[in-house]
Structure 1
Amino acid sequence: MSLPIDSSSQQSAGGQTTVHHRSVELECSWVVPLRDSGARPPLFCACAGDGDGAAYSDLAAALPSDQPVYSFGLPALSGREQFPSVEQIAEKYVRKLRKIQKRGPYYLCGYSFGGLVVYEMALRLMEEGEQIGLLALLDTEHPSYSQTLPSAQRTDYYHTYLFHRLRKYGRNVIHGRIDQIVYDLFVLCRARCKKVAFRVFRAASRGLGWRIPSAFSSNELVLLAAWQAYRPPRYEGRLVLFNAAGRAPEYKADSTLGWKTCATGAIEVHVTPGDHHNLLRPPHARDFGERLTPHLGATVQPDGSDRGVGP
């Protein structure tokens, strides 16, 4: 197997070969090279729900030292001219990915919203005749998860969701945590109001050319709208899911988090320590890195042969 990356090799005094990828023009707001050298095919990570490409920094540090890692981010999204869809973001990322790695197989992972993006990237790369070495979704549920459930399970989902939330607030009432109750209500109302205001201003920007005020626009809201609008097409390749153990109980009904409805190939599910917010942060990042490593590309030697683990 040859390494399909624009690179040059240099042998150290100890005999180990390090691959230094050719310098390419990268926009800092779009591509963050967390590690741009190493003897393995690079791992490409798509932005999380806030568009931050640095969300994978701790994960990159936990991976083998010869594993290149590139993270795709997003610039600040606001104003009437920028309402990207998952498809548009994936198209942009694929163009930038192919400047770094000309040919497959490609190794892709996406946390939260980024899972949708790498799913769409894999589809586009396969349409172009490329191979996908890894498509990993990190705690990403299908955008229409509850709707993918059979009717009985869907009813259980909503009952469990309601019971779990009421129990959480009930504990605060029992323990007299009035300040926490007020804070939770404030956060909930503020988030709801911002979402409604964003939808109103977005409609106005499209119809009347108004600009969305910065107070009612953020990467989270823009990407949430993209999330809700995305309908994942059929994917016939292998899909690897890493689900946080601390997910809310209403998601226990389907270990694939809804992806079995559109991913028709093999689906491999792993449950990892942590919850949705700290899955990629210490101390869980190191454990997650160890679980992810066996799925990454093999080390490539100067003669083009493989060494080490790989899918």
Structure 2
Amino acid sequence: MLFDASTVGALSRRLTALVSMTPELRTVALEGTDLEQSLRSVWISAVGSEPPAGGEAGASLTDAQIVRLLAQVRREFGVAAEGLSALEFRSDPTVSGLARFLRDALDPPAALVVPLQPRGDKAPLFLIHAGGGYVFFYRALAARLGPDQPVHAIRAATRLDSHRHRFDRTVSIENLATRYIDEIKAVQPEGPYLLGGSCFGGVVAFEMAQQLIAQGETVGAPVLLFDSYVGIGEHWRDYASRTLSSVAERLGMDAGASPAALARAIAVGTVTRPVEVLKLAPLTVRSLLRRGFGALRVVRIRRAVRDNVPRQGGRSREQEQLDMMHDFLNVSVELVSRYEPKQYPGGAVLLKATVGPDPEPLWTPWVADGLQVHVMPGEHLDMMEEPWVEQTANQVRQALGR
């Protein structure tokens, strides 16, 4: 808001508009439930006591209690709760603070370059969105990198960004990288540039680094690749099949059914039972949206089902967000499948998950100045969540220092 409303007058008008909203609009509930009440229940389950009326008691929570609480919130609320930072929670250790974070995560910012942590005199780090197009899961990493390291993320342009090129109309990774270079140069006109990205975003950051060097610019550190894959192979399809079976079992479906039947069943469930599907974030959203490059069939079937299911009372923000992520995943799969990388004269740092396919062999031929590899705990982007994000931040600091 401070970036968009950067004068006293503009900020005053924005705040006036906010406080004039009706209570119903100011306390938007996820999927029609009372968000604060739901968070109180989660707090009691994770911490074992009632949440405090003020922040004093919340400030006394141990690190272990905060980790349990944030993990439970992520399980309960899915994608809206990704990137919850223990540092941010300690700045407002209340139910209302958690509710504010969840609501903010569902509202896309006005600009494509999102200042996750704009303070500090160091060269800013630019992180590119994952396949779903969103960037708020980077917030915990940005907080852990400290107040002297600016961090900006680039989200995907949606149909609401009428003055910009929509992500779902992108024709190539190269074209997308060129557009995003224009975006980061509006923030930082000259190098050295610091770039990184998770999953799909790592591929785009890699291509941006290639183009910047070709333009005579400087890339000031190895490109950061957070469990990113530069190619699509059979290991993706195997992983997608296992993921579909796991999610189907969680939803009470037949895990032994064919991938096509499972995909259609999950697609129908996404439309008719969105609350249950969204709560399966570790399997459904994290795996299918960000990692399911082989599950393109899910996206196409889901779109067909969505167009034929009667809508009752309109779609919620969560449903609209999920629709957009599925469409963006479709585009991401096609873009990566067509991308032909060239050897990069610089270096890269790959942080790969312990669980899942190994992206290292896919990157090694394309990094001339050496690929530094670090194995991170958990699945795919668990490395962006508490408590593992501190380890990720340490590796990022070392890479930026190089």
TM-score by length of 2: 0.52
Q: Which among 225, 237, 247 is matched to residue 346 of structure 2? A: 237
Q: How does 1:210-229 map to 2 (within 5 A)?
A: 218-229=327-338
State the secondary structure of the residue aligned to 1:242: strand
Change in 2 beyond 3 A, CA 1:178/1:113: closer
Amino acid in structure 1 at the alignment position of 2:352: N
**Any idea what SS the aligned residue of 2:254 has?**
helix
Distance 1:59 1:197 in 2: 32
SS of the aligned residue for 1:258 comes to: helix
Q: Determine which of 390, 397, 400 is the counterpart of 1:286.
A: 390
Superposed, which structure 2 residues align to 1:132-151 within 5 Å? 132-134=219-221, 135-145=223-233
1:145·1:257 contact (CA, 8 Å) conserved in 2? no
Paired residue secondary structure (2:146): coil
Query: How many pairs were matched up?
Result: 237
Q: Which secondary structure does the structure 2 equivalent of 1:48 belong to?
A: coil
- The corresponding residue for 2:169 is 83
2 CA distance for matches of 1:39 and 1:193?
44
Q: What one-letter code is carried by the residue in structure 2 that aligns with 1:240?
A: V
Structure-2 separation of matches of 1:244 and 1:88: 29
The alpha carbon displacement at 1:263 in A equals: 2.2
Q: Which residue of 2 aligns with 1:194?
A: 299
1:109 aligns with 196
What code does the residue aligned with 2:141 have?
L
**Contact 1:64–1:293 at 8 Å: present in 2 too?**
no
Aligned to 2:144: 62
Q: 1:282 to 1:183 in 2, by over 3 A?
A: farther
**Letter of the 2:115 counterpart:** P
Deviates more, 1:82-91 or 1:42-51: 82-91
- For 2:344 and 2:383, how far apart are their aligned partners in 1? 25
> Which 5+ residue runs of structure 1 have no aligned equivalent?
1-26, 147-156, 200-213, 297-309
* Shift in alpha-carbon separation, 1:56–1:237, aligned structure 2, 3 A: same
Partner deviation per Cα, 1:144-187 (whole Å, 9 max, x = no partner): 456xxxxxxxxxx69x948x949x77xx7xxxx89253598665
Mapped to 2, the partners of 1:237 and 1:230 lie a distance apart of: 19
Retained in 1: the 8 A contact 2:128–2:198? Answer: yes
Partner residue, 2:23: none
Q: RMSD value over aligned CA atoms?
A: 3.6
Deviation at 1:232, TM superposition (A): 1.3
Pick closer, same or farther for the CA change 1:265–1:28 going to 2, 3 Å: same
- Structure 1 residues 111 and 178: CA distance shift in structure 2, 3 A: closer
Report if aligned partners of 1:140, 1:257 keep a CA contact under 8 Å in 2: no
Whether the 8 Å CA contact 1:29–1:74 is kept in 2: the answer is no
**Where in structure 2 are there 5+ consecutive unaligned residues?**
1-108, 268-295, 305-319
- Corresponding residue SS for 1:75: coil
- Equivalents in 1 of 2:187, 2:233: separation in Å? 34
| Counterpart pick for 1:271 among 375, 384, 389 | 375
Q: Is the 8 A contact 2:344 2:368 kept in 1?
A: yes
Q: Taking structure 1 as reference, are residues 197 and 65 closer, same or farther at Cα in structure 2, changes over 3 Å only?
A: closer
1:237 alignment partner AA: G
Task: Judging by fraction of residues, say which structure has more helix.
Answer: 2
Q: Name which structure has the greater RCO, CA cutoff 8 Å, separation 6+.
A: 1
Letter of the structure 2 residue corresponding to residue 226 of structure 1? L
CA-to-aligned-CA distance 1:171-228 (integer Å, 9 cap, x gap) = x7xxxx89253598665234625336879xxxxxxxxxxxxxx979622212222122
